[in-house]
């Protein structure tokens, strides 16, 4: 008994001999020259061109995630490029592979937490009581609350108030941002520690205001970082550090067992 | 005799407790809310914010590379996501790994060809004679001229005239674009075949107008495609094709040796 | 206040001008010509050369995971190779990226389940009662029991009895294999469905007999599959399917929106 | 006019409800318990089980490539694992991405050089004169001869004589190994520098004795390194260095622009 084929279908883009459409728009005539890269990313993901306000906030979110200095992801890309400079794409890929639960996961974690606490943004619930519940739940399970705290940026992550300001000015600061802020305040009070909302927490909350599914939120970090990594690889090609790091680490790591 | 450490240095970004700078600009205050993603990419790569004209052209270039339907790269990302949906970043990485010489390489190939033919854009040379030389060289070595011809888009790749128009309108259509167009005309005449400048050829030429090193040109395709792939993975999570493709291919590929 | 460096150290291998040691053995003289690849993998992972019996079982485990036809991982590698044939390593990398929770995860899931149920293999507990508890726990949480069931191989996965036989003949079939078999029997009885122990379940149980940490069990699948993928890429280079798959899928996926 | 489908076909493996075959052999009954991992890799790649002699040499070749301490590839894998410990497969993938022209390419380069110089191993040519030609050619093009020289292992790479000895003892040291040795001697004489055949040069030559296509030779390094990387990731999970490397590099790299 043979299996039945299921249909295969994509609604993102198509092309014919003389036309290319992306999300229902004519790429050469309606997109090129009319949109910026952040707006096109929004179109690609949602099927809709952003309003001017959505554009402002979405560009700010993604830009925040492009670059943050010498991160593990930048190091992996640079070291990979040192071995395979003919495969720039593989160096970027290597750099992206580590964008998992440790560094970027808190962004999707914050979105997931907020959606689970408040599935319907319009629901008639008391946000203060809800924040108490959320904090108590995480503390009871001895879990870290995603999106709070930063090893370096204390007592405030300088990106957070600016992101919230941009969201506010553009009508995208609603109950999810409010809930996130209450959760942070409750968590600080309960723990007695400085737990500022970090950039990934702010972005996670604003993503809920947009209504993005939490599963795709990590994707914003991934696409932003790809841009950042190309910058690091360009610098690596001009002023390399990959081989030097390798040799220093190799020397040190095996000194205890290596004979003179 | 121990080795001497060499310095390790990066000029892209730094952060302290309360500040984050990218390319000399204050990220929260000078970038967020003021720049779009394409402009930030330009800043990340060049160290300079683009002029309004540079912004128009650079955004158009990168946007052109984001999305072109179900490509091999989109397929690899979708199939990978089917096996590891918890690692969205690895699915994007898998999709990027194939952006090599076959599909994206012609972009850097076109830039390299143009820079080698005309190392100094201001040089007093006859572009028509130069184009003749270039075409003769490639034909003599039986090599394909990068950036010409397209399997589907004939007799014109619809992106090319639009990209050249945007470059022209913004003062970024100079001698490299001119040379590319002459090379295409000569190649068509010499071969008797339709050899339109394709999108990667147009972009390769415009990248020379910007002065980007040819080695980084592939990177524009890589960062743009990362955005496109996040869109494909979002669609895959909602309307999957990965498992269906796998099962169809497996059935067909081994039918000739598999007993009933 | 500057941070204090922490030591960086690795105990796997070192080299000097005239010597190379891996895990305390002289690579040229004690390893090459004396060990097979599976035994060297065991040495690399555990720091000990395997006994003859361990060698038999470990080689069988890893070999089981090398090749299983046209899998999603093989497809991703082949499609990636089509775009970047100069970067064979990136094609293998792309194929590995999808070895996540869906296809390979059940192996580590089975090990984790068995270790959590029976942290001390020698503990004086009744395995039959323990199996009941485990099955009741998974059913209560409506979770799938890892390592049981197979879409194709019914009522028996042909690899499982053979792997258990090899383990038995070599003294590596103890209480974890016993517990796994009881869990399978209880789960079939409770669900009324055929739930054979599949190959990943058998391997997960045998890995517990070895005492491998469950977190590294996925790694056996990853290293085995890397071997399999090189075989697929070699076949792809001689008899390609990547471009054909792409074109078929592209045609079908966008037929509903693409004008004639 | 619709395109015609081309057939999709693979001859590596198939499975039905109760059988699994790999390269024409019954996996459970003819392979498991009977073959070691290196022999299975040989079967996967060539379609033939190795003879005892081929097994000895092939296992030695691949084992040589598994582990060589803290390499750039091991570093990239470890740093990636630090960010995404839930995606072990992505950490291995990241480590493989850099196995390109710089570190592993010399192996395929040596094979290619030898095949191009001596397409037919039985041809009636004078190897000494041929070696002279090859060396003169590389020197004339100012290219490095692949497989010669090593930054650390001087005047002899300790793996090389051992690999040649194993090949010799097993009937796999023929004219390609001879030619490689003559090329090394001529190159040393012509350059006045120590240019020992390194491990990748020895392996490249022995691969020609087997008759492996040069394009797949890099694949031996890739599959071997996947094994090594799993070992490094296991050590990283127990005794990490990734985060420490990141923090040291970040501190140093931006000290010149970062305010106190």
User: Chain D partners of B7 at a C-beta cutoff of 8 Å?
Assistant: 252
Cβ contacts of B92 on chain A, cutoff 8 Å: 93, 96, 219, 222-223, 226
Contacts of B96 (CB under 8 A, 6+ apart): A89, A90, A92, A93, A96, A226, B73, B222, B225, B226, B229
Q: Which tokens in the block code for residue C231?
A: 């075989």
- Tokens 């390790």 found at: B8
The per-residue pLDDT for range D33-62, each reduced to its tens digit, is 999 999 999 999 999 999 999 999 999 999
- D84-118 burial, b if ≥16 CB within 10 A, otherwise e? bbbbbbbbbbbbbbbbbbbbbbbbbbbbbbbbebb
For chain D, how far is it from start to end, CA to CA, in angstroms? 69
Q: Please, is B9 exposed, middle or buried when counting C-beta atoms within 10 Å of its C-beta (0-12, 13-18, 19+)?
A: middle
Instruction: Take residue A20 and report the two structure tokens written for it.
Output: 């290319």
Q: How confident is the model at residue C210 (pLDDT cuts 50, 70, 90)?
A: very high
pLDDT of residue B103: 82
Contact A35 B93 (CB under 8 A): no
| C-beta atoms of A86 and C89 within 8 A | no
Percent of chain D exceeding pLDDT 90 equals 93
Write out chain D residues lying below 8 Å of B9, CB-based.
Answer: 252-254, 256
Percent of chain A clearing pLDDT 70 (strictly above)? 99
Query: What's the pLDDT tens digit per position in C145-190?
Result: 999 999 889 899 999 999 999 999 999 999 999 999 999 999 999 9
The CA distance from C73 to the nearest CA of chain A, in Å, is 16
**ipTM of the modeled complex:** 0.96
> For residues B176 and B211, is the Cβ–Cβ distance under 8 A?
no
Q: Is the CB of A84 less than 8 angstroms away from the CB of C89?
A: yes
pLDDT in tens, B181-218: 999 999 999 999 999 999 999 999 999 999 999 999 99
Confidence of residue B1 (pLDDT cuts 50, 70, 90): very low
Q: Which one of D95, D102, D249 has the shortest CB-CB distance to A70?
A: D249
Neighbours of C30 (CB within 10 A): 14
Neighbouring-strand partners of residue C22:
C13, C25
Report how far residue D139's alpha carbon sits from residue A29's, in angstroms, rounded to the nearest whole number: 53
Cβ contact D101–A84 (<8 Å): yes
Question: Residue A103 is encoded by which pair of tokens?
Answer: 């560094």
Length of chain C: 260
Contact B8 D254 (CB under 8 A): no
Count helices and strands in chain B by DSSP H and E runs: 11, 3
Categorize the per-residue pLDDT at B2 as very low, low, confident or very high, splitting at 50, 70 and 90: low
Is 60 exceeded by the pLDDT of residue D260? yes
- Locate tokens 């790479």: which residue? D157
The Cβ of residue D3 has, within 10 Å, a number of other Cβ atoms equal to 9
Would you state the pLDDT for residue D27? 97
- C72·B94 Cβ contact <8 A: no
- pLDDT at position D1: 45
Tens-place pLDDT, residues A56-67:
999 999 999 999
**Which of B198, B227, B203, B219 minimizes the C-alpha distance to B67?**
B227
Contact at 8 Å (CB) between D176 and D57?
no
Q: Residues of C with CB below 8 A from B242's CB?
A: 72
Q: What angle do CA D246, D250, D252 make, to 5 degrees?
A: 120
Calculate the alpha carbon distances from A117 to A110, A182, A199, D53 in Å. 11, 13, 20, 65
Name the DSSP class of A7: P
Return the partners of chain A (3 or more C-beta pairs < 8 Å).
B, C, D
Q: Tell me which residue in B80, B100, B253 faces C84 most closely, judged by beta carbons.
A: B100
D124: left (phi over 0), alpha (psi -120 to 50) or beta: beta
* Strand-by-strand arrangement of the C20-22 sheet: C13-15, C20-22, C25-26
Q: B219 and A69: CB-CB below 8 Å?
A: no
> Phi/psi zone of residue B211: left (φ > 0), alpha (ψ -120 to 50 degrees), beta?
left
- Which residues in chain C are closer than 8 Å to B259, comparing Cβ atoms? none
pLDDT digits over D68-113, tens only? 999 999 999 999 999 999 999 999 999 999 999 998 888 999 999 9
* pLDDT > 70 in chain B, percent: 99
**A71-98 residue pLDDT tens:** 999 999 999 999 999 999 999 999 999 9
Task: Indicate yes or no: CB of A60 within 8 angstroms of CB of B232.
Answer: no
Is the pLDDT score of A151 beyond 90? Answer: no
Interface partners of chain C (CB pairs < 8 Å, 3 or more) are A, B, D
Best CA proximity match to D22, nearest among C65, C78, C219, C73: C65
pLDDT for B118-152, tens place per residue?
999 999 999 999 999 999 999 999 999 999 999 88
> In this complex, do A259 and C19 lie within 8 Å of one another by their Cβ atoms?
yes
Cross-strand partners of B15:
B20
Burial of residue A155, with CB atoms counted within 10 A of its CB: 0-12 exposed, 13-18 middle, 19 or more buried: exposed
User: Distance (Å, rounded) from C-alpha A74 to C-alpha B13?
Assistant: 12
Position C1 pLDDT exceeds 50: no
State phi, psi for D100 to the nearest 5 degrees.
-110, -140
pLDDT cut 90: percent of chain C above it: 93
Residue A2: predicted pLDDT: 62
Average pLDDT of A162-166? Answer: 98
C70: chain B residues, CB-CB within 8 Å: 246, 249-250, 253-254
- Structural domains in chain B, CATH included, are 105-215 (1.10.230.10)
What CA–CA distance (Å, rounded) separates D34 from D12?
Answer: 19
Among partner residues B85, B93, B97, which is closest to C84 by beta-carbon distance? B97
Nearest CA in chain B to D98: B97
Helix (H), strand (E) at residue D20: strand D20-22
- Is the pLDDT at D240 greater than 70, yes or no? yes
Q: Chain-wide mean pLDDT for chain C?
A: 95
Residue of D90, D93, D249 with shortest CB distance to A245: D249
Q: Sorting pLDDT into bands at 50, 70 and 90, what band is A154?
A: confident
Tell me the pairing of strands C13-15 and C20-22: antiparallel
**Distance between CA atoms of residues D146 and D153, nearest Å:** 16
Q: Judge: D19–B259 Cβ closer than 8 Å, yes or no.
A: yes
Tell me how far apart the alpha carbons of residues B220 and B222 are, in angstroms, rounded to a whole number. Answer: 5
pLDDT in tens, B21-51: 999 999 999 999 999 999 999 999 999 999 9
Taking contacts as CB-CB distances below 8 angstroms, the residues of chain A near D100 are: 83-87, 90
At B3, the pLDDT band (50, 70, 90 cuts) reads confident
How confident is the model over D187-232, as pLDDT tens digits? 999 999 999 999 999 999 999 999 999 999 999 999 999 999 999 9
Report whether pLDDT(C260) > 80: no
Counts of helices then strands in chain C (DSSP H, E): 11, 3
Q: What is the largest CA-CA distance in chain B?
A: 72
The rounded radius of gyration (Å) of the Cα atoms in chain A is 22
Tell me the two tokens of residue C59: 């080689």
């Amino acid at each position: 008994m043979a299996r039945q084929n299921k249909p295969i279908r994509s609604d993102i883009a198509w092309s014919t001999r003389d036309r290319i459409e992306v999300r229902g728009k004519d790429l050469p005539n309606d997109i090129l020259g009319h949109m910026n890269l952040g707006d096109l990313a929004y179109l690609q993901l949602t099927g809709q061109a952003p309003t001017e306000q959505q554009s402002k906030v979405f560009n700010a979110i993604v830009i925040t995630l492009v670059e943050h200095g010498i991160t593990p992801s930048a190091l992996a890309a640079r070291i990979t490029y040192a071995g395979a400079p003919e495969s720039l794409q593989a160096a970027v890929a290597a750099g992206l592979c580590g964008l998992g639960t440790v560094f970027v996961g808190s962004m999707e974690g914050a979105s997931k937490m907020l959606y689970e606490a408040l599935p319907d943004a319009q629901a008639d619930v008391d946000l203060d009581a809800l924040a108490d519940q959320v904090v108590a739940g995480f503390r009871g399970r001895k879990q870290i609350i995603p999106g709070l705290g930063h090893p370096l940026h204390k007592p405030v992550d300088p990106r957070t108030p600016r992101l919230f300001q941009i969201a506010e000015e553009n009508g995208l600061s609603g109950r999810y941002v409010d809930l996130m802020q209450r959760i942070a305040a409750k968590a600080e009070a309960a723990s007695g520690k400085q737990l500022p909302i970090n950039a990934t927490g702010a972005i996670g909350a604003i993503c809920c205001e947009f209504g993005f599914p939490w599963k795709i939120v990590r994707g914003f970090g991934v696409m932003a970082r790809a841009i950042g990594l190309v910058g690091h690889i360009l610098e690596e090609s001009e002023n390399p550090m990959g081989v030097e790091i390798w040799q220093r680490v190799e020397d040190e790591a095996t000194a205890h067992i290596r004979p003179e």
